[in-house]
Amino acid sequence: MGNAMLCKDYIITKQCLILIRKFASKQVGKGTGSFGKRRNKTHTLCVRCGRRSFHLQKSRCSACGFPSARKRKYNWSVKAIRRKTTGTGRMRYLRHVPRRFKTGFREGNDLYFQMNGRMLLKVIILGDSGVGKTSLMNQYVNRKFSNQYKATIGADFLTKEVQVEDKLFTLQIWDTAGQERFQSLGVAFYRGADCCVLVHDVNVMKSFDNLNNWREEFLIQASPSDPENFPFVVLGNKIDVDGGNSRVVSEKKAKAWCASKGNIPYFETSAKEGFNVEAAFECIARNALKNEPEEEIYLPDTIDVAGGRQQRSATGCEC
DSSP secondary structure string for all residues of 197-245? EEEEETT-HHHHHTHHHHHHHHHHHH--S-GGG--EEEEEE-TTGGGGT
Given a cut of 60, whether residue 161 has pLDDT beyond it is yes
Compute CA distances 2 → 10, 15, 130, 159, 192, whole Å: 12, 20, 86, 79, 84
* Residue 316 CA, distance from chain mean position: 64
* Predicted local distance difference test score (pLDDT) of residue 144: 87
Reading phi first (left if > 0) and then psi (alpha if -120 to 50, else beta), residue 112 is in alpha
Q: How far apart are CA 201 and CA 237, in angstroms?
A: 5
Q: At what angle do helices 133-142 and 277-291 cross, to 10 degrees?
A: 90
Query: Which residues partner with 232 through β-bridges?
Result: 196
Average pLDDT rounded to a whole number, residues 42-48: 52
| CA–CA distance, 154 with 189 (Å, rounded to integer) | 10
HSE at residue 49, side-chain half, CA atoms within 13 A, is 12
Phi and psi angles of residue 232, each rounded to the nearest 5 degrees, phi first: -125, 150
Q: Is the model more confident about 229 or about 73?
A: 229
Confidence of residue 199 (pLDDT cuts 50, 70, 90): very high
pLDDT in tens, 202-241: 999 999 999 999 999 899 888 898 999 999 999 999 999 9
Q: With beta carbons less than 8 A apart as the criterion, state whether 233 and 188 touch.
A: no
Check residues 247 and 72 and name the one with the higher pLDDT. 247
- Selection from 194, 183, 176, 280 nearest residue 237 by Cα: 280
- Among residues 232, 234, 233, the alpha carbon closest in space to that of 224 is found at 232
Mean pLDDT of 274-302: 75
Which pLDDT belongs to residue 123? 93
Distance set, CA 60 to CA 40, 67, 68, 69, 217 (Å): 18, 4, 6, 7, 64
Nearest to 155 by CA among 136, 133, 130, 131: 133
Mean pLDDT of the chain: 69
How far is residue 296's CA from residue 217's CA, in Å, rounded to a whole number? 30
Residue 293 pLDDT level (bands cut at 50, 70, 90):
low
Does the pLDDT of residue 105 top 80, yes or no? no
For range 155-181, the mean pLDDT: 81
277: pLDDT strictly greater than 50 = yes
Is residue 29 classed as helix, strand or coil in its secondary structure?
coil
Cα separation, 254 vs 200, in Å, equals 10
Task: Please give the share of the chain, as a percent, with pLDDT higher than 90.
Answer: 32
pLDDT over 90 at 65, yes or no: no
The mean pLDDT of 288-313, rounded to a whole number, is: 55
> What confidence score (pLDDT) does residue 317 get?
58
More confident residue, 141 or 294: 141
User: Which has more confidence, 84 or 231?
Assistant: 231
Please name the residue ranges forming H helices in the chain: 2-27, 78-85, 99-106, 110-115, 133-142, 186-190, 205-209, 211-222, 251-260, 277-291, 305-315
